[in-house]
Every structure is written in C-alpha cells, then in structure tokens.
Structure 1
Amino acid sequence: MRQIPVDTSAAMVMVAQPPTPKIANRQTGEVATDRETGATLMTVDVMFAMDGNAEILNLTVPQSGISGELAMGTPVALTGVVARPWENEFNGQKRHGISFRAVAVTSLVAAKAA
C-alpha cells in the first residue's frame, strides 16, 4: 500500500481529543491491533496548524507510542507520520479518504517540565 510521509516540523500540533482504543469491529467492540507487531492501536485527534490553516487529523498510533499526559489542548510532537489513501465499496457506494498513522505522539509539556 502506498504511504506518503508527512513533514510536521513546521506545524503547531496539539491534542483535540485524548487517545482512545481504536475499535476494529463496532458490533463486538474488538480493539484493533497492528497486523505486524500485534500492538494495541489507539486513535488520537490532533489539531494540525500551519501557514494560517488548521485541520483536525485523526491519527492511529500504537499504544506504546503515546507518552505523557495527552489531555485536550496539550502541545505534542508527532513522530513518523504517514498518510495512506484508502477506498472501499459498501452497499454499492464507493468511499475514499486519507488515513493518518504515527509512530509516536509525545507531550511537549512533559518534555518542558523535565
């Protein structure tokens, strides 16, 4: 699958919604895991602001990649962000979009305090 690296070095990024477990199956409540490592996956919404524009990105991150207190409004650093285009068909309707995945989301508040 095609992956596009995302440069976040010039952006201001802060938590919009704290991390929650990523759900693989809404009917059963099964939590998603990484296919290669088996790690539990989390989702965290971040506000990504750059050049006067802001977007809310929904990131998928392994649970081990989340560090520090990630409460709403916390400034964070993103490591290893990639964008993946996706497309699927359900009941005859095609849907498409871009998903975002990061290796780590790190609180900058914890880094400043240390």
Structure 2
Amino acid sequence: MRQIPVDTTTAAMMVAQPPQPKVINRQTGEIATDRDTGAKLMTVNVMFAMDGNAEVLNVTVPETGVADELTMGTPVALTGLIARPWENEFNGQKRHGISFRAVAVTSLAQAQNAAA
C-alpha cells in the first residue's frame, strides 16, 4: 500500500477533538489494534493549517503515542505523519479518500508556555 510522508514543518496544528478509541465495529464496540504491535489505536481530530488554508484531519495514532494532556485547542506536533490513499466498494458504490496515521501526537503547550 502506498504511504506518502506529510511534511508538517511549516504547518500549525491543534487538537480539534480529543483522542478517542478507534472503533472498528460499532455493534460490538471492538477497538482497532495495530497489526504489528497490538497497541490499541486512537483517533485524534487535528486542525491542520498551512499557507492560509485549514482542514480538520482525522489522524490514527497508537495509544502509546498519544500524550495525556491533549484537550481541544492544544497546539500539537505530529511525529511520522503519513497519508494513505484508499478505495473500497460498499453496496455497489465506490468510495475513496485519504487516511492519516502518525507515530505520535505531542502537546506543544508546555514548550510555548516555557518560551513566554
């Protein structure tokens, strides 16, 4: 599967919605896990702003890579952010999009407070 690294060096990012477990089956409540490590996966909605444009990205992150202090509005850094194009067919309709995954989501609030 194609993986495209995303350069975040000139972007401003903040938490739009706090981390939530990534549910893969809403009927059973089954939580997604990383295939390689077995770590529980979380989703974090991040406002990604760059070059005068802003978009909310739904980023999947292993639970071990999610900082505890992530609340709405917290400035963050995304380590190892990649984009993966996907396509599937459901009930005869083709769907496609881009999914985002990061190794870690780290709060920058402490760094900004220390600099002030």
Q: TM-score, normalised by structure 1?
A: 0.96
Letter in structure 2 aligned against 1:41: L
For structure 1, the 5+ residue unaligned runs are none
Measured on the aligned residues, the alpha-carbon RMSD in Å equals: 1.1
Q: 1:17 touches 1:72 (CA, 8 Å); kept in 2?
A: yes
Task: State the Cα distance separating 1:110 from its structure 2 match.
Answer: 3.0
The CA distance in 2 between the partners of 1:58 and 1:87, in whole Å, is 17
Q: 1:68 touches 1:110 (CA, 8 Å); kept in 2?
A: no
- Percent identity between matched residues is 78
The aligned counterpart of 2:80 is: 80
The CA distance in 1 between the partners of 2:100 and 2:41, in whole Å, is 13
Q: TM-score, normalised by structure 2?
A: 0.94
The aligned counterpart of 2:98 is: 98
Task: State the Cα distance separating 1:56 from its structure 2 match.
Answer: 0.3
Letter in structure 2 aligned against 1:19: P
Please state whether the residue corresponding to 2:74 is helix, strand or coil. Answer: coil
For structure 2, the 5+ residue unaligned runs are none
1:51-90 alignment, distance < 5 Å: 51-90=51-90
The CA distance in 2 between the partners of 1:79 and 1:68, in whole Å, is 16
Task: State the Cα distance separating 1:26 from its structure 2 match.
Answer: 1.0
Task: State the Cα distance separating 1:109 from its structure 2 match.
Answer: 1.1
Q: 1:86 touches 1:97 (CA, 8 Å); kept in 2?
A: yes
Task: State the Cα distance separating 1:83 from its structure 2 match.
Answer: 0.2
